[in-house]
Amino acid sequence: MPSQVIVNADDFGLSAHTNAVILHAFQAGLISSATAMANMPAFATACMLAQQPALKGRVGLHFNLTYGRPLSQAILAEPRFCTPHGEFDLRLKQRTLRLSRRERAAVETELEAQWKRCLDNGLMPSHLDSHQHVHNIWPVGVIVARFARTQGVPIRLARNVGHNIGPAKRVFKTLLNRRLRQLAGSTADFVCTPADLKAGLAPAHGVLEVVAHPSALGGHDFGDAYLASGESLLALVEQRLGQVPRVGYASLGMQEEMS
């Protein structure tokens, strides 16, 4: 069994419904962390909810380059990132290894703008990850990891637990995660989905993050986008990790400072 588990709900701030489900999942003790989308309609409400005791200090930034409109101007002029109509439309391939100087500057500026919007709404992010895993694209990941280091917060690694990670992908993820850890400093050791948890792949040691997208099943139960319709995320986490302490990413930062 892992020594600690972070059950993180992505997409906080996406909509009023998503906010309600994530708040309920925190209150039920299912999730121990969340990440918020700074350019989404329900973000300001998510920041207010993040002040509640169950959530305080446990909400990070879900850096977004793929959905909605950016918060900065420079990235609007980059055709691999935005449409002519001013909306995100990321056209980088997963194995992209290089950005132009102008693209790098635009991504950095957008990351800074999304972070600042958190601060302006009273939210000090506990950590950094990204929508649709865009920081798993190497040059974007380098930017995000360096920014995480400057802000003194942990970063999510690329998913490294799962049956569907072939040899070539595993080599790439291993190298990427080594670089993210080198640049950012503080991370969890393993990252998986609820489907990986269901397959019995929880690691035997270390800190595990379970990346969740919870949905309401009625009453006090929750499903997840990675599970079959009607399948309980709550029951799965209790069955596989019920005895493992659930923590937020801020605790990793504190451990890093103490070590």
pLDDT value, residue 218 = 80
Cβ neighbours of residue 153 closer than 8 Å, sequence gap 6 or more = 60, 125, 126, 127, 128, 186, 249, 253
258 pLDDT band, cuts 50/70/90, is very low
4 pLDDT band, cuts 50/70/90, is very high
The answer to whether residue 103 scores a pLDDT higher than 80 is: yes
Tokens, residue 146: 């360096």
Buried b / exposed e over 26-40, threshold 16 CB at 10 Å, is beeebbbbbbbbbbb
The mean pLDDT of the chain is: 95
In angstroms, rounded to a whole number, what is the distance separating the alpha carbons of residues 122 and 158? Answer: 28
pLDDT value, residue 253 = 58
The answer to whether residue 259 scores a pLDDT higher than 50 is: no
Cβ atoms within 10 Å of 4's Cβ, excluding its own: 21
238 pLDDT band, cuts 50/70/90, is very high
Cβ neighbours of residue 93 closer than 8 Å, sequence gap 6 or more = none
Q: Nearest-5° angle of CA 21, CA 140, CA 32?
A: 25
